[in-house]
Amino acid sequence: MLPMTEYLAALLYASAWLAARLPWPLLRALADALAWLWQRLDAREARVARRNLELIRPTLAPAERERLVGEIVRTTTRQALETLRLWTRPPAHNLADIVEVHGEALFDAALRSGRGLIVAAPHLGNWELLNQWLAHKTPLAILYRPPESAVGEAFLRRVRARAGGQVEQVRAEAAGVRTLLKRLQKGGVVGILPDQQPKAGEGEFAPFFGKPALTMTLLGRLAHRSGAQVLLAWCRRLPGKGAPRFALHIVPAPAEVADADPARAVAALNAALEAAIGQDFTQYQWTYKRYTLRPPGSGEDNPYRDLY
């Protein structure tokens, strides 16, 4: 008999499977209706997206800001329902949704080099589809921050394990970091979401769209110690009214992301992320509270405090 946590995760998966079997036009309409409702009711996602825009684009006219909030929230809801489909369909079926690949030769060359490879994957477009493409190409380890819910973590392990055993999921803790370093030193591949806010004391502040943001130093440390190459990658949703289609992009990260000076490394990392996000601003996860922690001595308060 399955433990209760695994049983509930299996039940959650079954629910996701059923929802994802609905025709995409209906799922898209549901996503758009939910986005409209979130903005109309000023739900948490809309409030956070609006505050982020106020922080990084303070000169925007209110009407333009609300237009962007609407696009961001709509992208967020569509991505959520897209991901249900990705998690519950065979990976080969999902990979057919990628109709353009830019930079694959760069990725293949990095694999052949044997130096180790870090794939920095920002929360841009659909990163779960990117995971499946990477797993199709090579075994890899992905660093993740476990959800607070044990059932949620069991569910994520279940859906990400569908990549044929190619993905090792590594918790973001000391033992996990050692696992990643060993893999890189042996010439392996590691995937990291580089734009999650680390805990206080585990990062450096660097500009992110003109606003200081606490940024992980882990990626730079791993690159510096292992000598691994660093590439940025993301799956950008293409326009169109039919089933979702994506363009996958792979670009080299600046050499400075592996600098021994963590301040220089995180500044280079954030600049590279900005360039990627700038290709499709509203497909970034602006519903995330990226600027919660503020630089010591700045006198700044948590800018989202009044949203709670």
DSSP character string of 16-52: HHHHHTS-HHHHHHHHHHHHHHHHHTT-HHHHHHHHH
pLDDT of residue 48: 98
User: Predicted confidence band at 144 (pLDDT cuts at 50, 70, 90)?
Assistant: confident
pLDDT above 80: residue 17: yes
Mean pLDDT of 232-243: 92
Q: For residue 115, what are the domain limits? A: 4-307
CA 65 – CA 52 distance, rounded (Å): 10
Closest CA to 116 of 172, 185, 199: 185
Tell me: the pLDDT tens digits for 79-97? Answer: 999 999 999 999 899 999 9
Asked whether residue 146 carries a pLDDT value surpassing 80, the answer given is: no
Q: How confident is the model at residue 10 (pLDDT cuts 50, 70, 90)?
A: confident
pLDDT higher than threshold 90 for residue 172: no
Q: What is the pLDDT of residue 158?
A: 81
Q: What is the mean pLDDT of residues 18-38?
A: 93
Is the predicted pLDDT of residue 164 greater than 60, yes or no?
no
Point out which residues pair with 233 in neighbouring strands. 250
pLDDT surpasses 60 at 1: no
Query: Is there a contact between 266 and 213 (Cβ–Cβ < 8 Å)?
Result: no
Counting the structural domains of the chain, the total is: 1
Checking if the pLDDT of 226 tops 70, the result is: yes
Mean pLDDT, rounded, for 14-23: 89
Share of the chain above pLDDT 90, in %: 77
CA angle 95, 141, 3 (to 5 degrees): 90
Q: For residue 2, is pLDDT > 70?
A: no
Sign for the pseudo-dihedral over CA of 25, 100, 80, 160: positive
Q: Is 268 exposed, middle or buried (CB count within 10 Å of its CB: 0-12, 13-18, 19+)?
A: buried
Q: From CA 175, how far away is CA 178, in angstroms rounded?
A: 5
Q: What distance in Å separates the CA atoms of residue 58 and residue 65, rounded to the nearest whole number?
A: 9
- Provide the phi-psi class of 261: left if phi over 0, else alpha when psi is between -120 and 50, else beta: beta
Q: What is the mean pLDDT of residues 139-157?
A: 83
Predicted pLDDT of residue 176 = 85
b/e map 165-191, b = 16+ CB within 10 Å: ebbbbbebeeebbebbbebbeeebbbb
3-state DSSP assignment of residue 182: helix
Contacts of 302 (CB under 8 A, 6+ apart): 292, 293, 294
Predicted confidence band of residue 162 (pLDDT cuts 50, 70, 90): low
Q: Dump pLDDT digits (tens) for 289-302.
A: 999 999 999 999 99
